[in-house]
Amino acid sequence: MTSPLKPTAVVVGVGVEQGLGAALCRKFAAQGHHVLAAGRTREKLSRVVATLTAAGGSGEAIVTDTTQEADVARLFDRAMAPGSGFAPVDLVVFNAGNNRPMPFRDVDAAMFEDFWRVGCFGGFLVGREAARRMVPQGGGTVIFTGASASLRGKAGFAHFAAAKAGLRMISQGMAREFGPQGLHVAHVLIDGGIDGERVHTLAPERVKALGEDGLLNIDAIAETYWQLHRQHRSAWTQEVDLRPFKESF
């Protein structure tokens, strides 16, 4: 009897190994998916894929600028490629984004647009392409990484909140349009700092002040994404929020 082909997962927004994108890749590979790790830097992607294969999984590094329509189309062409030795994509995560505080009066037009293009427009391109490819084959799961800024804009973060709020609306619109056609669309609100390389490099004092379990563990977040994919269609989650037990809200 011929063994079933491995399903394919696409993770957009993969960077350093100690980051959420890489953790998602590791989780999906460990659960039996062939993972297309998509991001802007080949060197970082290659290290993530090497980790997957060393652990017995499989994956590919796909250099992708999520703000470029042609790049996103090529990524999904690969995810659906006949003869690749893997089944077409059934799980997509949009995890791209950029964030840093800036006084509102210092945000110029180009900077605002860059945050929107990465955090919102890129999500539109990935979500649209996922729907175009996955709905005709019967569905699958599309997950968007959100933030507390998806719900409220704090001082110094208006540019970031605008992008994240727009991404949330994309996820809701897709869920309502494509859920009845078998596509599970979910939005994950990350409320708190992520315990990855970025925060340890840029804000070590904050990490120290928060103490043990004061940041969201990347593997624990990845577990939630996997459980969303595994949900029975009679009880789908459209939005879930995750935060450390110490985080006020």
Residue 118: how many other CB atoms lie within 10 Å = 20
The helix/strand/coil state of 220 is helix
Mean pLDDT, rounded, for 45-71: 97
Mean pLDDT, rounded, for 109-125: 97
Q: Where are the domains positioned within the chain?
A: 8-189+217-241
Lowest average pLDDT, out of 55-59, 203-207, 212-216, 240-244, goes to: 203-207
| Alpha-carbon gap, residue 127 to 26, rounded angstroms | 22
Condensed to tens digits (0 to 9), the pLDDT of residues 154-199 reads 999 999 999 999 999 999 999 999 999 999 999 999 999 998 888 8
178 phi and psi, to 5 degrees? -105, -15
Condensed to tens digits (0 to 9), the pLDDT of residues 218-227 reads 999 999 999 9
| Alpha-carbon gap, residue 159 to 101, rounded angstroms | 9
- DSSP H helices, 80-138, are 109-116, 122-134
Condensed to tens digits (0 to 9), the pLDDT of residues 65-104 reads 999 999 999 999 999 987 778 999 999 999 998 888 999 9
What pLDDT does residue 2 have?
56
Condensed to tens digits (0 to 9), the pLDDT of residues 16-42 reads 999 999 999 999 999 999 999 999 999
What pLDDT does residue 210 have?
85
Residue 3 predicted with pLDDT over 70: no
Mean pLDDT, rounded, for 198-204: 81
CATH 3.40.50.720 fits 8-189+217-241, yes or no: yes
Residue 145 predicted with pLDDT over 80: yes
Q: What percent of the chain has pLDDT over 90?
A: 85
Q: How far is CA 178 from CA 66, 136, 137, 184, in A?
A: 22, 11, 12, 8
What b-and-e string marks burial along 168-185, b requiring 16 or more CB atoms within 10 Å of the CB? bebbeebbeebeeeebbb
Give residue for tokens 């001082």. Answer: 155
Chain-centre distance of CA 25, in angstroms?
10
What pLDDT does residue 230 have?
98
Mean pLDDT for the chain?
A: 95
Residue 245: how many other CB atoms lie within 10 Å = 7
What pLDDT does residue 112 have?
96
What pLDDT does residue 98 have?
86
